[in-house]
Amino acid sequence: MKTLSMKKVFLFLILYACMGLQLKAQVAINNDNSTPHPSAGLDVMFDNKGFLPPRMTRIQMAAIANPANGLMVYCSDCSNNATGALAMFLSGAWFTFIPTCLVPFIPTDGIHTAAIDQIVWNWNSVPDATGYRWSATNNYALATDMGTLTSQSETGLNCFTSYNRFVWSYNPCGNSLPLTLTQATLPCAGLPTITTSAVSNIAYTTSTSGGIVVSDGGNVVTSRGVCWSISPDPTIADSHVATGTGTGGFTSNMTDLLAGTDYFVRAYATNSTGTAYGNEVIFTTLPFDIGVAHAGGVIFYIDPTGQHGLVTSTTDQSTGAQWGCSGTLIGTSTALGTGQANTTAIVNACSQPGIAARLCNDLVLNGYGDWFLPSKDELFMMHQQLEGVIPFAFNIYRSSSENGAFFAWYLFWGDGQQNYSDRTWTYYVRAIRAF
């Protein structure tokens, strides 16, 4: 009797297994005895193991005879830096899947240590991170590189004040999203104790906040209010408004804000010892938009800064006014942004009463007295943005732009067409102003 070699025994077992597999339409390889998914011929499922395809060099892969479309291997030297990559044969050529490594997890919050004017910030390390960045603002590019440290001491803080700080993990693949750290310093010795109210009535350039002076710290509170800035931790050196004295609650109105802008606000209270600040609240003002009411009229133009533009009155200032001073060349412009200068030039050069420019120049409406007659391009912009939004007459409207000494530009609101006509002819007038 001949003894089978180990190689032959192993081959026999492989063949036996393959024969068994052929008896089934589907195959499941797992550690929980689950059946394969109906869509899969081979269903491999583990929660602690991966799938490892055949591994070979690029030369070995290229030597495979007549590879089938969809054939996949792990090529150990196929990527650009001569490291490994998955490869698949498709339409007569091998293609690699460009390997992209994983950025690390977001750090987790640690336990912070607070003093009156100091906080030691702590966070926990996470897998795959090779370092961390820490910052007082949510800006990774400006954050301090902490290396592998998971702690940062910050001094010179205000007592009894809540602070937000930000931490990212990173590795050669990139950085995580930020973790927001929050901690308050200890109560102030001899200073007032104050909290900041939520921000309400948020508009384009105004909003409302306030606070509660819980304790005067043993000394009379001589001033209280709110302070705000586009940077964290505002103080009374920034924009602020004072609202009364003493303890208790109060409301403060913030004005002259920028539209569509993030702000940080804190309540403050001052006594003979110094100034204490409440917790920080973040809010965003409303952005300007075409067709909304603002600054005495309705917005029809916003400049590139997003902070300024033009509004139109919601009513006509006349249904029949001349341009005026026919035969006098005044030197106006047709461009966007020149209506105010045009109006001033017309009024100064032409004493004729009741003309379109003078009606706008003398107008006081909704608390504003700086209205003017729109230029040709401003009038066209009004039609483009507000046609069908607010009421206009199905008629001709005057602009402040002349065309020679005897003619001036107009716009027919029905179709937005512009032309010029005799200055003595009477048309509708609609005033605008800048904000």
Classify residue 201: in a domain, yes or no: yes
Q: How many domains does the chain have?
A: 4
Q: Write down the pLDDT at residue 82.
A: 61
- Tell me how far apart the alpha carbons of residues 11 and 301 are, in angstroms, rounded to a whole number: 81
User: In degrees rounded to 5, what are phi and psi of residue 136?
Assistant: -80, -15
Q: Are residues 347 and 419 in the same domain?
A: yes
Q: Are residues 349 and 392 in the same domain?
A: yes
Q: Are residues 297 and 420 in the same domain?
A: yes
Per-residue pLDDT of the chain (435 residues; tens, 9 = 90+): 334 344 443 444 444 444 444 445 678 888 788 888 888 778 888 888 888 899 999 899 999 999 999 999 999 888 766 678 899 999 889 988 877 778 899 999 999 999 989 999 999 999 889 999 999 999 999 999 999 999 999 999 988 788 999 999 999 989 999 999 999 998 878 889 999 999 999 999 999 999 999 999 999 999 999 999 999 999 999 999 999 999 999 999 999 999 999 999 999 999 999 899 999 999 999 999 999 999 999 999 999 999 999 999 999 999 999 999 999 999 999 999 999 999 999 999 999 999 999 999 999 999 999 999 999 999 999 999 999 999 999 999 999 999 999 999 999 999 999 999 999 999 999 999 999
**SS (HEC) of the chain:** CCCCCHHHHHHHHHHHHHHHHHCCCCEEEECCCCCCCCCCCEEEECCCCCCCCCEECHHHHHCCCCCCCCCEEEECCCCCCCCCEEEEEECCEEEECCCCCCCCCCCEECCCEECCCCEEEEEECCCCCCEEEEECCCCHHHCEEEECCCEEEECCCCCCCEEEEEEEEEECCEECCCEEEEEECCCCCCCCEEEECCCECCCCCCEEEEEEEEECCCCCCCEEEEEEECCCCCCCCCEEEECCCCCEEEEEEECCCCCCCEEEEEEEEECCCCEEECCCEEEECCCCCCCCEECCEEEEEECCCCCCEEEECCCCCEEEECCCCCCCCCCCCCCCCCHHHHHHHHHHHCCCCCCHHHHHHCCCECCECCCECCCHHHHHHHHHHHCCCCCCCCCEEEEEEECCCCEEEEEECCCCCEEEEECCCCEEECCEEEC
Classify residue 177: in a domain, yes or no: yes
pTM: 0.57
Please, how many CA atoms are within 13 Å of residue 204, restricted to the half-sphere of its CB? Answer: 15
Q: Are residues 165 and 230 in the same domain?
A: no
Tokens standing for residue 325: 């001073």
Q: Write down the pLDDT at residue 242.
A: 97
Classify residue 10: in a domain, yes or no: no
Say if residue 287 is exposed, middle or buried (CB neighbours under 10 Å; 0-12, 13-18, 19+): middle
Q: Write down the pLDDT at residue 80.
A: 65
Classify residue 371: in a domain, yes or no: yes
Q: Are residues 258 and 345 in the same domain?
A: no
Classify residue 7: in a domain, yes or no: no
Nearest CA to 129 out of 154, 149, 112, 144 is that of: 149
Please, how many CA atoms are within 13 Å of residue 384, restricted to the half-sphere of its CB? Answer: 9
Of 160, 184, 208, which marks where a domain is finished?
A: 184
Q: Do β-strands 144-147 and 162-171 pair in parallel, antiparallel, or remain unpaired?
A: unpaired
Looking at this protein, which amino acid is placed at residue 213? V
Q: Which domain holds residue 163?
A: 108-184
Do 26 and 41 contact (CB within 8 A), yes or no?
yes
Q: Are residues 222 and 313 in the same domain?
A: no
Nearest CA to 396 out of 416, 376, 371 is that of: 416
Classify residue 102: in a domain, yes or no: no
Q: Are residues 205 and 157 in the same domain?
A: no
Q: Write down the pLDDT at residue 102.
A: 84
- Tell me how far apart the alpha carbons of residues 5 and 194 are, in angstroms, rounded to a whole number: 87
Do 104 and 129 contact (CB within 8 A), yes or no?
yes
Tokens standing for residue 190: 């001899």
Of 255, 284, 313, which marks where a domain is finished?
A: 284
CATH of the domain at 119: 2.60.40.10
Q: Are residues 426 and 312 in the same domain?
A: yes
- Tell me how far apart the alpha carbons of residues 399 and 339 are, in angstroms, rounded to a whole number: 8
- Tell me how far apart the alpha carbons of residues 93 and 256 are, in angstroms, rounded to a whole number: 64
Q: Write down the pLDDT at residue 100.
A: 74
Classify residue 11: in a domain, yes or no: no
Q: Are residues 264 and 211 in the same domain?
A: yes
Nearest CA to 317 out of 357, 290, 353 is that of: 357
Classify residue 8: in a domain, yes or no: no
Q: Write down the pLDDT at residue 25.
A: 63
Of 46, 62, 96, which marks where a domain is finished?
A: 96
- Tell me how far apart the alpha carbons of residues 129 and 51 are, in angstroms, rounded to a whole number: 25
